[in-house]
Structure 1
């Protein structure tokens, strides 16, 4: 539920003296999109291919030498196979891969995490343009972000420094994957991982729907890892047990912040309360007033709607659509 590492889009440098003819070919063959060099990375994901066109592809390239930038929403193997097999391959004077990119999740001190990776693997730290321009086909560029990696990474979300490594990509990717949690922890400074218990209660018994809705949000925001689930009993009143579904969750989020998220999920947009998401730490309940710094003269419904707005503001459109479907199903259990 926390993506720690993923690939960036693959990039190709292509030299051509028939620029416009080749661009038309890419648009017709691959539905390529012509984008500005500064935004193409933001619009792509790890299974896309970015093509940088040059009139003269030199051993060392600069951003200013790029004539056009195109995004193809196909993986690089598919693109290369089609280029080789097509008779219009004669339009290409030179071609070579650009440095590969690896994106990693960080929390807190990203410079410290980058330096720890450099300590283990070497390499040079600098801006993305520096890493691309000073790198070669065998280079790998590592970028850090404190935003979820499940969605497309934007340059505005990336840490301003990157690390360029001239090492075997496959071996590097494997080693970084194995040590990703260690590097993540190195950036957390004094932050700690917390084990929470989330107890789900619904008088109408729609536990599965509430569970799915909760997990959709936790997955989208990449807040931690589910480490256990079970049915249990709670006692809201003395000698009055009720059945609850417990989710044990490991997270780096502070208890009060996490409680605010749960508070926002208890209500629909019209204020109707549909579920109880109670938060416990070592069997001690975290109350909603604690999450609001024990403010006085506050209304639970009003604060819940504020919290809901904040949570939904952080979600992508796909997740919002899935939550809307689940909420309609939950309302259907009330009839």
Structure 2
């Protein structure tokens, strides 16, 4: 539900006999996107490969913001297989892997997280951009962001500080994942996790569809951790029970922030109210009225505004996914 560590894109340095021919092959045959590394980094995630080509791999591969690189939405092994199978390996003189960044998502005091990691590993704090542009760096690099790791992250999304550690990246990545919560909690200082309960209500009983929408948002915005789920009953009207699906949720966000997001899920594209998502912190129910801008606004008005804000946080593919589920919800009412 909340990812704390992931790898950056893969970086490959290709020494070629013919720079022009190599570039033409990458762009024409492999459909690579060419731009500077600053722009490319903002368009990639761990599923991408970025290639830098040179005519002399022994020269320092310290590039600038304007140095051209080539981005492909494919794994490194897939790219190399294509080069060999398409009989273009004659263009390649030698290959070298550039360091792959490890990205740690933080909350709170980043300095405390950095020093907590440095207690476990010998390393040094460096400027991110100076480190990022050095493709010859032999060490592992840990970078930090306060953005959800499911997103593509450019240099502007990362903290100015990074840690350089002389430890194999594979083992470091595994250990970081194991100890991620410990490091994260070091930085929280007096901030605590919030335990909230999310209750789903729908008189048409399309709970499985509302659950899918809810989980999609919780996962894609990386809002926290699900601790448990259960069915129960609520008595909204005297002697009339209503089914309720409850989710216990741990989050570092204020419960009101969670409620505001879920209000945006209570209506469909045509402003039809399709369910209720009640949020409780302790025994207190957070009211939609807290988000009304004036006394004339009704719940649907507030939900419409919250939906617009929510959709700005989601990717186009997530928005399409949500709208498709909403169509299923409306069909279930027919």
Shift of 1:176: 0.4
1:67 & 1:134 partners in 2: Cα distance?
A: 12
2:30 & 2:137 partners in 1: Cα distance?
A: 24
Deviations 1:32-91 (A, max 9, x none): 221222111112221221111223333533214985311122212233444466654343
2:7 & 2:236 partners in 1: Cα distance?
A: 47
Shift of 1:122: 2.6
After superposition, the Cα gap between the structure-2 partners of 1:134 and 1:37, relative to the gap in structure 1 and judged at 3 Å, is closer
2:114 corresponding residue in structure 1: 114
1:2 corresponding residue in structure 2: 2
2:268 & 2:87 partners in 1: Cα distance?
A: 57
Residue 164 (structure 2) pairs with residue 164 (structure 1): yes
Do the aligned residues in 2 keep the contact of 1:60 with 1:133 (CA within 8 Å)? no
1:282 corresponding residue in structure 2: 282
How do 1:142-153 residues align onto structure 2 when only pairs under 5 Å count?
Answer: 142-153=142-153
Do the aligned residues in 1 keep the contact of 2:36 with 2:66 (CA within 8 Å)? no
Shift of 1:120: 2.2
Do the aligned residues in 1 keep the contact of 2:38 with 2:154 (CA within 8 Å)? no
Residue 213 (structure 2) pairs with residue 217 (structure 1): no
2:331 corresponding residue in structure 1: 332
Shift of 1:134: 5.5
Residue 19 (structure 2) pairs with residue 16 (structure 1): no
How do 1:82-101 residues align onto structure 2 when only pairs under 5 Å count?
Answer: 82-83=82-83, 87-101=87-101
1:320 corresponding residue in structure 2: 319
1:153 & 1:67 partners in 2: Cα distance?
A: 19
Do the aligned residues in 1 keep the contact of 2:125 with 2:164 (CA within 8 Å)? yes
Residue 154 (structure 2) pairs with residue 154 (structure 1): yes
Do the aligned residues in 1 keep the contact of 2:232 with 2:245 (CA within 8 Å)? yes
Deviations 1:115-157 (A, max 9, x none): 3223322322223332245674642221111111122222222
Shift of 1:163: 1.7
For structure 1, which runs of at least 5 residues remain unmatched after alignment?
A: none
TM-score with structure 1 setting the length: 0.90
2:25 corresponding residue in structure 1: 25
2:119 & 2:80 partners in 1: Cα distance?
A: 35
After superposition, the Cα gap between the structure-2 partners of 1:59 and 1:118, relative to the gap in structure 1 and judged at 3 Å, is farther
Shift of 1:334: 2.3
Task: Say which is worse superposed, 94-103 or 264-273, in terms of deviation.
Answer: 264-273
Count the aligned residue pairs.
Answer: 334
Task: Say which is worse superposed, 209-218 or 148-157, in terms of deviation.
Answer: 148-157
Task: Say which is worse superposed, 263-272 or 194-203, in terms of deviation.
Answer: 263-272
Do the aligned residues in 1 keep the contact of 2:47 with 2:74 (CA within 8 Å)? yes
After superposition, the Cα gap between the structure-2 partners of 1:67 and 1:296, relative to the gap in structure 1 and judged at 3 Å, is closer
For structure 2, which runs of at least 5 residues remain unmatched after alignment?
A: none
Task: Say which is worse superposed, 175-184 or 260-269, in terms of deviation.
Answer: 260-269
After superposition, the Cα gap between the structure-2 partners of 1:68 and 1:135, relative to the gap in structure 1 and judged at 3 Å, is closer
TM-score with structure 2 setting the length: 0.90
Displaced runs of 4 or more, over 4 A: 81-87, 133-137, 293-298
After superposition, the Cα gap between the structure-2 partners of 1:87 and 1:260, relative to the gap in structure 1 and judged at 3 Å, is closer
1:299 corresponding residue in structure 2: 298
1:5 & 1:79 partners in 2: Cα distance?
A: 25
Residue 40 (structure 2) pairs with residue 40 (structure 1): yes
1:130 & 1:257 partners in 2: Cα distance?
A: 36
The residue matched to 1:39 in structure 2 has which SS? helix
